[in-house]
Amino acid sequence: MGSTSLRAQLWRDRLAEWWAGLWRWVLLAAAAAAAAYIILNQGLENATMTAFALAGLVIGAVLTPSVPLAVALMSMPALFIVQRVGLGAGDLSVSDFALAAAFGCAVLLGKRPYSRPLRALLWFNLFYQFTTLFTVIVNPYAANTIEWVHAWVLVSGALIVGWALGAAGYARLALSLLVVAACAIAVITVIQGGLQYLTGNFSPVYVSWPFGMHKNFIGTALAFAAIVVYVNPDWMGWNRALARWALALLVVAILMTQSRQALIGLILAVVVVVIRRRVTGRSRLVLLLLIPAGWLIVTMVADQVASQNEFNSVFQRLNWFREVFHYWRESPIFGHGLRYWYNETAVPFQPPQAEMEVLASAGIIGLIGFIVMWVGVLVVLWRVDPRYGTIAVAVVLSRIVQGQFDLFWIAAQVSIPFVIAGICLGALDREERGTKGEPDAAHARHPGASLRPPSRAATPWKETR
């Protein structure tokens, strides 16, 4: 075959591939548009967000034959969307909806068997679920049972989703999607904060577009992404300069929110990262930069105490603690039930502290399970190879520290760190099995790829052992 005819054949193959891809995406867009049109015509609450959630699920389902974990991958950015979808009594957020869809995908299409560290984490969470089952039995109402299942999915479900992505070779892509979503929120926060500062208003930034986000959600969620880009492990293969810019953006946005629990959690996570690494000039510099952040936290708290304003966050929390303590004493062993504040008019608020919430909800038995679970989780992750375990233990520790100063059982703020931890454990297991390199989907499309040695450029991390 001559060079001209060979070139023509290559162009015909390329055009055929382009046309197939274009046709596939046209079908995806049509399916997504149809789902959006149907939902928007139903007059549901938050119909637009519901339509986007279902449209994303449709696209992921269509891509599943070629990318088995497409639904789980597409759920990564959606984990940051806390707006509710109008699907009735379940009162799900988009984050919950995305996690549930990803969990179903991970259970059906994820790798087996699970590694020992992951199994240990699942058992610790199961122990906590067992201790809270008593309050579900003693306090029979719908929200109690629903929240019991919900709490299990937020921890074990998130771990399994992350594991499936990491074990399938999607660790870099999945974490990149999480970081990009966080950076998008950070950009919006910085822009809105800058406009707010121009008017002379230096109060905490609450994002109002594209949907409302509380300052504490923004701060805590962005802190998880900041930890990931700060660690920037070699197996991720990220550009260092780009990671530094992303870290700077995320930290600025966190400071603009003035979320104290996010800053405290981030500070302790950075300390853990430095401890698990060799002490370097960069590590010492970062520790010095923590001093202004600590000073900012102390100053904000001192100002609120000095103001003697009984309605500020410090004094309001103290009042809430007293109310919750007195309410817990009415049922100290089994508690009043998960999400009891939906039914209780005397104490109609979620306790703003992790252990106090569990104590009032599930009693002393539930609190024992909660403490055992968290101690066990942190010990297991601490023992994981630091190349993979550092991110995992840092983000999970950051979450439990955040929960000492504000609401704990909040969908995205619990699921995101456990998804990240699961991704790290899955990536570690993939390396230990000797299946580094391209994701499994690439081998499904090109069966012969597994017979070719991976090129140096295709390997997303450098081997340091």
Angle, helix 70-78 to helix 47-63, in steps of 10 degrees: 150
- Cα dihedral 115, 117, 122, 123, rounded to 10, equals 110
- Separation in Å, CA 272 to CA 142, 293, 391: 40, 16, 10
Segment 213-249, tens digit of pLDDT:
999 999 999 999 999 999 998 898 898 899 999 999 9
State pLDDT tens for residues 161-170.
999 999 999 9
Selection from 422, 416, 84, 81 nearest residue 223 by Cα: 416
Q: What is the pLDDT along the chain (465 residues), one digit of tens a residue?
A: 566 677 777 777 777 667 656 666 666 666 666 666 565 555 555 556 666 666 666 667 666 666 788 889 989 999 999 887 655 545 678 899 899 989 998 998 888 899 999 999 999 999 999 999 999 999 999 889 999 999 999 999 999 999 999 999 999 999 999 999 999 999 999 999 999 999 999 899 999 888 889 999 999 999 999 999 999 988 988 988 999 999 999 999 999 998 989 999 998 998 889 888 765 555 556 666 666 666 666 666 665 556 565 655 666 778 888 899 999 999 999 999 999 998 877 788 899 899 999 999 999 999 999 999 999 999 999 999 999 999 999 999 999 999 998 889 988 899 999 999 999 999 999 999 886 555 764 444 433 333 333 443 333 333 333
Residue type, 367: L
Give the predicted TM-score (pTM) of the model. 0.84
